[in-house]
Amino acid sequence: MVAYDAVLVGSGINSLACAALLTQQGWRVAVLEREERIGGCIYTSDDLTLPGFTHEVMASWHPLWTGGAAYAELKPELDRRGVEYVNTDLPTGSTTPGGDAAFVWTSLDENVAEMDRHAPGDGAAWESFFNGFMGNADLAFGLLGTELWSTAGLGLGQKAFRRFGRRGSLAFMGSTLVSCRDWVTATFRSDAAHGLLAPWVLHTGLGPDQATSGFMTQVIAAALQLGGMPVPVGGGRVLVDALCGIVRDGGGEVRAGAEVEKVLVSGGRATGVRLAGGETVGATRAVVASVTPTQLYGRLLAPGEIGETVRREAEAFRYGRGEMQIHVALDEPPRWKGARADLLARSPLVHVTTGLDGVSQGVNEAERGLLPARSTIAVGQPCVLDPGRAPDGKSILWLQLQEMPGGPVKGDAAGEIDVGDGTWTESLREAYADRIVARLGESIENLGSATAKRVVLSPADIESLNCNLVGGDIYGGSCALDQNLLWRPLPSAPGHRTEVDGLFHIGASTHPGPGLGGGSGYLVAKELTKPPLTRRVLAKLPGR
C-alpha cells in the first residue's frame, strides 16, 4: 500500500489549501478526488457555451479567499506561480423597483455619500456602523476564523470578557444573533439601503429573517468596503493549478477520478482510505475528509467505528435551499437601463431585487418548496474585472438564483409553471430560466438581442457536479444557527476533530462554513503542524 503523511478526501478549496500548507511544512500528501476534474466548486470552463467564452461554472468571486488566513500564508508562493487578482472600487450594487440603484464602494466616503443620496442621515448611520464594527472586528472575524472548541476559541471568549465585562460580553454575543431585517431597518431609513444589503444574506446560506443574518450582513458590508470583489485573472482554475503545483512539487499527489469509499480505521485510528475499485492509500499521520457529515458518518465510516449519538446527528443533518445557475454568452456587453446604468455596468456583482421584502418572500417560497414568483437575481459580470473571459467586444453573465427549493418542487408561487412531479426536468429548468431572463430583460435592455447562448444548471445539475451539494445546496448544509458556528457540523462532533484518532473533517459542512475562504482546511493544517506542547511552552518563557 502506498502511504503518505496525509490523505485528503476531495479536492475543493479547503482540501487544496490544507494540502498546500501541509506540503510547505514538509508533509507528503495525497489529494483524492472522485470527479474527473480537480477543484470542487471551483470549475472554470472554456466549453460551457461557445468558443472563446470562459465561465466559472460554479464559484466565481474570491473576496473570502483573498481576505483569509490561508491565502495570506500561501500568497508569496501563489504569486510566484502566476496567480494574479484583479479588483474593483465598486464591488456591488442593487437595482431598486423605481428604476434607481444603490451601491457599495470600497471607500467609506463614497458609501456615506451613497447612503445619504437615498435618505439623508443614512450616511452617518453607515459611518457609525462601520467604525463600530471595526472596533470589534478582531472578535467578529475571529468568530469566523478560529477553532471555536479549542484553547484559541476560549481565548477569543476571554478577549471579549476583558473588553466588555460579563454583561457586556453577553450583550455582544446577543447582538450577533440579530436578523438582517431587524438590523437593516433599525440602522438605515431608505428602502434602497435595505435592498442593497439584504440580498447578501443569501450568499451566507441564510434568509433575512433568520437569527445571525444581521451579523452576517454587517460582516459582508464591512468586507465589501475593505476588500472589494477580487477575481483571479483567467479564472479560479489558475488558483487550483497553482495549489496543485505546490503539492506535486513537494512530492505529493493530486488525483482525479479517485473516489474514496471507506476511511480505514485500525485500533481506533485512521490509517488511510480505500478507493472504489479496491486500491488502498495509507496515511501515517492524518486522513482529512472534505465531505458532508452524511457521507462521512453514513458511508466512509462503519457504524461500529463511531458513537451512536454522532451517527444519529449526522443522519439528521439538514441541507439548505437549492440554487440555479444561468450562464449567458453575449455578443456585446450588457446595457443596463435607468439613471445609474453606467455604475450598474461597471459593478461586477449586481442584485436585481424588489428589496428586503422581496428577498424574504423569495426565501419563504423556496423553503416551502415553491418556485419563487420574483427571485432575487445575482447578476455577475466577470468581464468587468477580467475582460479576457470573452472575445473582444463580447461579454458573459453569471446569474445566480439562491431562492430555490432544496428538494422536489411542490409548485410555482406565480401559478404559471406546471412543475409536474417536482423533478428537475429539462423543461422545468428552462421554463423557470425563461422567467428569470424575461425579468432581467426589464433591467438590461439588450439581454434578448445580445444573447448568443445560454446554459442553465438546476439544483439537481449542481448536485451532479459535486456530491457535497446535496439537493443543490451550494453551502454544504443549512447554515441555520443550530447547525452553525459552535454546532457545525454536529453538536456532538463540532469543529474538525472526529471520534476517530487522526481523522479530521473539513469543508463547507464544517466551521467556518461555506465559501472560498479555505478556513477549515487552514485550521486543520495548523492543528496538524503545530509544535509539540513542550516547545510551545518553552517558546513563551521570558528571555526566549
Ligand X SMILES: Cc1cc2nc3c(=O)[nH]c(=O)nc-3n(C[C@H](O)[C@H](O)[C@H](O)COP(=O)(O)OP(=O)(O)OC[C@H]3O[C@@H](n4cnc5c(N)ncnc54)[C@H](O)[C@@H]3O)c2cc1C
- CA dihedral in degrees (310, 314, 318, 323; nearest 10)? 140
Q: Which residues, 6+ apart, have CB-to-CB distance to 309 below 8 Å?
A: 492
User: Of 40 and 195, which has the nearer Cβ to ligand X?
Assistant: 40
Least distance CB 508 / ligand X (angstroms): 4
Residue nearest to ligand X (CB): 12
Contact call for residues 23 and 246 (beta carbons, < 8 A) = yes
Instruction: Compare residues 112 and 223 and give the one whose CB is closer to ligand X.
Output: 223
* Calpha distance 205→34 (Å, rounded): 25
Which residue ranges make up the site for ligand X (CB under 6 A)? 9-15, 32-35, 40-41, 58-61, 64, 259-260, 290-291, 295, 323, 325, 462, 466-469, 474-476, 507-508, 514-516
Minimum separation from the CB atom of position 29 to ligand X (A)? 14
In whole angstroms, how close is the CB of 485 to ligand X at the nearest point? 16
Q: Which is nearer to ligand X, 74 or 115 (CB)?
A: 74
For the bound state, the minimum distance from the C-beta of residue 389 to ligand X, rounded and expressed in Å, comes to: 14
39-72 as b/e: b if 16+ CB within 10 A: bbbbbbbeebbbeebbbbbbbbbbbbbbbbbbbe
CB of 291 vs ligand X, minimal distance in Å: 4
Contact criterion met (CB below 8 Å) for 515 and 474: no
Choose between 259 and 445: whose C-beta lies nearer to ligand X. 259
**Closer Cβ to ligand X, 405 or 507, answer by number:** 507
Residue 13 in grid coordinates: 478549496
Task: Kindly state the smallest distance separating residue 30's Cβ from ligand X, in Å.
Answer: 11
Rounded to whole angstroms, the maximal C-alpha distance in the chain is 75
Nearest approach in angstroms of CB 402 to ligand X is 9
C-beta of 536: minimal distance to ligand X in Å? 28
Using omega within 30 degrees of 0 as the cis cutoff, is the peptide bond preceding 512 cis?
A: yes
Q: Which of 275, 255, 272, 265 is nearest to 15 (CA)?
A: 255
Task: Tell me whether residue 275 is exposed, middle or buried, using C-beta atoms within 10 angstroms of its C-beta: 0 to 12, 13 to 18, 19 or more.
Answer: middle
Q: Which is nearer to ligand X, 70 or 193 (CB)?
A: 70
In the complex, least distance from residue 53 CB atom to ligand X, rounded to whole angstroms: 17
Cβ distance to ligand X smaller for residue 370 or 401? 401
Those residues with Cβ within 8 angstroms of residue 293's Cβ, 6 or more apart along the chain or in another chain: 313, 314, 317, 477, 489, 490, 493, 505, 509
d(CA 191, CA 204): 21
Of 64 and 437, CB closest to ligand X = 64
Q: Is 378 helix (H, G, I), strand (E, B) or coil?
A: strand
Cα distances from 239 to residues 80, 131, 203, 207, 235, in angstroms, run: 12, 33, 21, 30, 8
Q: Which is nearer to ligand X, 11 or 44 (CB)?
A: 11
Report in angstroms how near the CB of residue 542 gets to ligand X at its nearest.
Answer: 41
Q: Give 466-519 as a DSSP string.
A: -TTSGGG-TTSS---GGGSGGGSEETTEESSB-SSBTEEE-STTSTT-SSTT-H
User: Judged by CB, which is closer to ligand X: 190, or 295?
Assistant: 295
| Residue 270: strand, helix, or coil | strand
